[in-house]
Structure 1
Amino acid sequence: MFGQNFITDKNLILKIISLLKNDGNTLVIEIGPGQGALTTTLAKQFAKVVAIEIDRDMEEILKSKIKSDNFELIMDDVLEIDFAEMLQKYIADYKNIVLISNTPYYITSEILFRAFEISPILSQGVFMFQKEVAERICAKVGDKKYNNLSIATEFYAKAKYEFTVKRNMFNPVPKVDSAIVSLDFNENKIGDVKNALEFVNFVRKLFNNRRKTILNNVKSSIQGVDATKLLEQCEINPQLRPENLSIDDYMRLYKRIK
């Protein structure tokens, strides 16, 4: 019902969890614990684990499996939770707050952007995505898969494609392979613009027609601006396509029109 594919390989579980930094006083927020494959080990290794699960069928399974005092289960829709408010009660007690998720494919981008919203509170994130999505998230300028999601990720964090996870490591077996991506939220460019969300939306608009030149995209997306002059001022070749521009190019464009 909720698009969950459960991890069955214990070595894989340990490999994923080993990517999380643990200073002895780390709070782990797990999105979509499912039957607790990751959660059980997390609760043994970290100071505090808060798991957010929407599927009521998983509630008793998780509560019976994990009885540690440092484990807290929140039964709710992750897309409806006010994360900033929820985390306020933990900030004073934990030096680092990290996020981990075996992300359901159908809400991948929504969960990622929820993480971006609270990234100033987080130090790290480790996510399992559909392999193709992971490649887009980690793509660099000039890559075929480089798009607005690649830029948004680079804006909020330093992304690393850790490793591929074959489909046969899940139950039920999905139709595609997955990949683990780590995000270092301490390395970001948020402070370089006045309005982070506005900048991300600005980039998204300029990718609306990625087959067109950046000149044509600026003309169609930004009203009341001399597109040729703007690109000249920003030292950007007007014949380039959106995927040929770096995040710094987009930031120059954004700052010039604001």
Structure 2
Amino acid sequence: MSNTVPKIISGSSIPRKIKEFTFPTTKELVDLYKVRATTYTLGPDLSDNFIMEIGAGPGTITKSILNRAIQYDNCKVSLVERDKRFVPIHEVMKECYPENAYQMVYNDILKWPDVENEIINHWNTLQPGYFNNANRVQVIGNLPFNIASPLIISMLRRMSHNEGFLGHPNVDLLLMFQRDVADRFHATPHNRVISRLTIVSQFVCESKIELKLKAGSFTPAPEVDAALVRFKKREKVLDERIEFEELEKVATYAFNNRRKTLTNNFKNIFKDTEKELKELNMNPKDRPEDYDTDKYCLLTRYIKDFYPKFMKAHINQLLQNKFKRPLEEIEI
């Protein structure tokens, strides 16, 4: 029996091309259920945990989170949603849970400092010093693919500086990305998916893919597959001698022209490019994808120490002049 819905055409207006809808397979339905019942990822004990869900929407995942949270002492939940069309659903949902079991925040998650301040002020008002005494901070989200990269960069930056509740020593992020982006976080050298995201995320966190999902697991189906990625904050960043922003700038500069050799990428930064790269145990003929985060930390320290003007310049200035003028000729 075919699992494709036949085309049904009625009336005088007949579109030239009708896209057929294909039912998800059994496996895809099971995978979708796993995401909707994603409480298995929260851990066995949620006592004194803080959980934040990004993009609560109609509450599909939210309800399973709350049903777990209310079973434990002092487990607090904040839900963030930008679209206020979901307010009526949230008002009904509120009647099903104890008072102050969770907080609803209507704001754009890309305005992270505002969202975070509202959350911290709310829980600290109800329970002074709440985040200082929390056992763990968890952030969960099925992110819109178009904001996933800038959002995770912003979160990683705050984690690296121990800012806000992401400064807590025990932080887990569990976020949905399109599959090709998810693969970048745990990429290794000599792999074409390695990128700036690889370098800066590994600087702050360890990560792994928890679940892979076909596009057909979602309705409406996106054009790409997805994956659920868990990030576990490191006790300290990989190299405390450099800042997150410095590493990000070097990685952005290198991967902006990822198919060019290191010599071509850095010839307008270094005075003697090949010699200096060799001193760093980097092959001048290699490409940016051939090195891991530790090596990028070393490269960043070197540039910071011997070419401080690079760190002072805006990244857009550096990229605009990358193959035009040497660093010393750039006005900052």
TM-score, L = length of structure 2: 0.69
What SS does the corresponding residue of 1:141 show, helix, strand or coil?
Answer: coil
> Which residue in 2 is equivalent to 1:73?
104
Q: Are the equivalent residues in 1 in contact too, given 2:56–2:80 (CA < 8 A)? A: yes
Name the structure 1 match of 2:68.
Answer: 45
Q: Matches of 1:188 and 1:154 in 2, distance apart?
A: 11
Distance in 2 (alpha carbons) for counterparts of 1:143 and 1:127:
23
Contact kept, 8 Å, 2:35 with 2:61, in 1: the verdict is no
1:217 alignment counterpart: 265
Q: Counterparts of 1:1-258 in structure 2 under 5 Å?
A: 9-14=32-37, 16-21=38-43, 22-46=45-69, 47-67=75-95, 68=97, 69-82=100-113, 85-86=117-118, 88=120, 89=124, 90-119=130-159, 120=162, 121-122=167-168, 123-186=171-234, 189=237, 191-220=239-268, 222=269, 225-258=271-304
| Residues in 2 aligned to 1:162 and 1:187: alpha-carbon distance in whole angstroms | 21
1:33–1:53 Cα contact (<8 Å) kept: yes
Letter in 2 for 1:104: P
1:226 CA displacement: 2.8
Q: Secondary structure at the match of 2:267?
A: helix
Counterpart residue number, 1:3:
none
**CA displacement at 1:36 relative to structure 2:** 0.9
Q: Is the 8 A contact 1:59 1:75 kept in 2?
A: no
Q: Is the 8 A contact 1:48 1:70 kept in 2?
A: yes
Q: Cα distance, 1:187 vs. partner? A: 5.3
Q: What percent of counterpart residues are identical?
A: 27
Give the distance between the partners of 1:257 and 1:208, measured in 2 at CA. 17
- Over 3 Å counting, the alpha-carbon distance change for 1:149 and 1:86 in structure 2 is same
Which stretch shifts more, 40-49 or 235-244?
40-49
Q: Quick one: which amino acid aligns to residue 88 of structure 2?
A: E
Supply the distance in 1 between the matched residues of 2:103 and 2:205 (Cα, whole angstroms).
27
Contact 2:137 2:172 in 1 (8 A): yes
Q: Which moved more, 1:192-201 or 1:127-136?
A: 192-201
Closer, same or farther: CA 209–189 of 1 in aligned 2, 3 Å = same
CA deviation after TM superposition for structure 1 residue 30, in Å = 0.9
SS in 2 for 1:140: coil
- Judged with a 3 Å threshold, the aligned counterparts in structure 2 of structure 1 residues 24 and 191 are, in CA distance, closer, same or farther, namely farther
Provide the rounded CA distance (Å) in 1 between the counterparts of 2:214 and 2:278.
Answer: 46
Distance 2:116 2:238 in 1: 17
Shift of 1:26: 0.7
Q: Check whether the contact 1:161–1:179 (CA below 8 A) recurs between aligned residues.
A: yes
| Rounded Cα–Cα distance in structure 2 between residues aligned with 1:174 and 1:253 | 38
C-alpha separation in 1, matches of 2:155 and 2:221: 27
Over aligned residues, Cα RMSD in angstroms?
A: 2.2
Q: Kindly state the Cα deviation for residue 86 of structure 1 after the two structures are TM-superposed.
A: 4.3
Distance 2:244 2:118 in 1: 22
One-letter code of the match for 1:180?
L
Shift of 1:103: 0.5
CA distance in 2, matches of 1:173, 1:114: 28
Structure 2 unaligned blocks of 5 or more: 1-27, 70-74, 125-129, 305-332
In structure 1, distance between residues paired with 2:147 and 2:252: 18
| Structure 1 partner of 2:5 | none
Letter in 2 for 1:35: P
- Opposite residue 60 of structure 1, the aligned amino acid is P
Range with greater deviation from structure 2 (88-97 or 43-52): 88-97
AA paired with 2:62? Answer: T
Report the equivalent of 1:4: none
State how far apart, in whole Å, the 1-side matches of 2:243 and 2:271 are. 20
Choose between structure 1 and 2: higher strand proportion.
Answer: 1
Do the aligned partners of residues 17 and 118 (structure 1) sit closer, same or farther apart at CA in structure 2, a change above 3 Å counting? farther
Distance 1:158 1:229 in 2: 33
- The residue type equivalent to 1:199 in the other structure is L
Runs of 5+ in structure 1 lacking a partner? 1-6
Residue deviations 1:115-163 (CA, integer Å, cap 9, x gap) = 2133232511001111111112222212121111111111121010122
Q: Please say if residues 184 and 195 of structure 2, whose CA atoms lie closer than 8 Å, have aligned partners that are also in contact.
A: yes
Q: After superposition, give the CA deviation of every residue in 1:213-257 in whole Å (9 maximum; x if it has no partner).
A: 11211114x3x5432232122111111100001111111111112
